A and B are shown apart, each in its own frame.
Chain A
Amino acid sequence: MNRNVAIQAARYLGVLLCVAIVAFPIYWLFLMAFKSAEEVYAVPPVYFPAEIQFGSFKALFGASEDAKTLANSMIIATFTTIIAMVLGTMCAYSMVRFKTGGNHFAIWIMSQRMLPPIAIVFPLFLAFAFMEILDTFPSIIIVYVAFNLPFVIWMMRGYIEDIPISLEESARIDGCNRWQVLHKVVLPMSRAGIFATAVFTFVFTWNEFVFALVLTNKDIVTYPVQVTGYFAAQQTYWNSVGAMSILGTIPVFLAVVFFQRYLVRGISMGAIKE
């Protein structure tokens, strides 16, 4: 009995320690947004600010227009998610129901996902510069769509495989055409999978840095690139980094919390089935 109590205590202690290690750096960075400039650079560091300030947030929405980068990220991530989901689900459906391309096609699709962004971004940069479409929404969205499609296809394939074919057959016999089968049977039946895959695609795109760093520069700068902009040669604007990080983390955090129960399968690329 004593041994059990000791094990339980050790368990809670270990978990609480991990929670503290995870939570403290987040607290610390986010705190920067609410500190005054003196407190940010104070030695020794200030663990609890004397007064909560909102000046850093006001600055982002003020003359600097830095908050616009969040809107850019939102536009890019939303359109990427919608387009990749539509095209990816169609492709996955064809692969499952008609065995289009077989195993080799599936492996080829997935191997595209594994290409290092830094390797493909350099030729893309030169091509976009040549076509004068650098720093525009359509060009970066199409890159993100291509980069996320393999993941969407891979995931949706798993979910569509779980739909019994007999349901689709009855729908056909009842007079649905092929697109209606997709729309009225396949999509509703794979709703959980669509949510999970969409959330992941959104989060990947929202947080992506390499493509954004190279393919945007002025008009459509995204939020991760903006954060690195606060590291100047002489000093770092930690107030702004903190405020921007909070605003940039909230959307993805809410998405993940909201769709939590759908996500476990997605994070393992379908290896775990609920």
Chain B
Amino acid sequence: MRALLRTLVERLASLRITVVLLVLGMVLVVIATLDQVHLGIWAVQAKYFRSFVVVQQLPGTGVSIPFFPGGYLIGGTLLINLLCAQFLRFNLTWRNLGLHLTHFGIILLLVGELLTGLLAIESHLTLDTGDTKNYAEASFERELAVIDVTDPAFDQVWAVPLSRLARREPVALPGCPLTLLPLQFHENANFFMRSDAPNAPASPATLGFGPQIVVQPSEPTYRPNEENAPTAFVEFRGPDGPVGVLLATLAIERPQTFTAAGHTYAVILRRARIYFDFSLSLLEFRHDKYPGTEIPRNFSSRVRLRSADGSEDRQVRIYMNNPLRHGGYTFYQSGFKNNDRTTILQVVRNPGWLLPYIACVISGLGLVHHFILTLAGFLQRRRASATTA
């Protein structure tokens, strides 16, 4: 049994496997980079890197075939290969310390990237000058928010992920008398006013703006400057039977309200919200340009940071290459709009953010160590051969 295990580890630790994996990884990175022109950076990450197998739909058919190992598979196998090799050939001497450190650093880097892929949440915080917000809006996730606005003191929110709407199965809202039944769901859609398309079939919607809008499903877009408008027709059912059907779409930026079972509900399909226990207010946004040009020199936001419990209240300047790190979140100056009146901060929560730094230090030390030893050996041999010659 032990012998078998040892053979297995020896096989897995083979340098041949390492080289094959490195080449596969390289090819994966190259084709993924080329595919970015079509899919955009985010879809490419999901398709190639955050997957076990890359699946390609054959053009013109509905058939999808796996055609290349994905990032998780290659990275994972490389990790196993590395671990086995370290385990097998681990004999720590001064000479090979550098190489061990380098490989250990790379193991950490791979683990760090895996953690980032699993745990990091990217979102945006858009603030007009003078505005205050205590939440960020996710960059990619969308949610259907059902908000009970009856109580004058607070709002009760049920946030339904869109994956649940796509399943078209009833969704129960815990603690709420309403149940959702998604009737239709589209990743993206175009819209017309009914008055402009008088011959369109009647809308399934009975509540809110829906009846006046004609929905035309369309292909999802991956272009960098466009956003999909996920759209759903959702039936609400109360304890006494159906309440009505509502058109929810990202393109309608305001909540639609209705009353059921004595409560008033506001419903909106929006970017998923991430609430903080502190708030940020934009005091001033600055956009400096080089004199006589439109070349941006710097963007900066002066914000006021206040914690919910009042223990903290300070001013912070966020600008290019100088983010604010607070409460496990990092706020980066990302963009602006509205004639420089509105700032867009990118908000990232990445519990594994420190790992790459540690990995880099370890790898770097290892490489430098190895390089210096190699160089010293080379020079020594030259000198030796020079004296003998």
Is A bound to B?
no
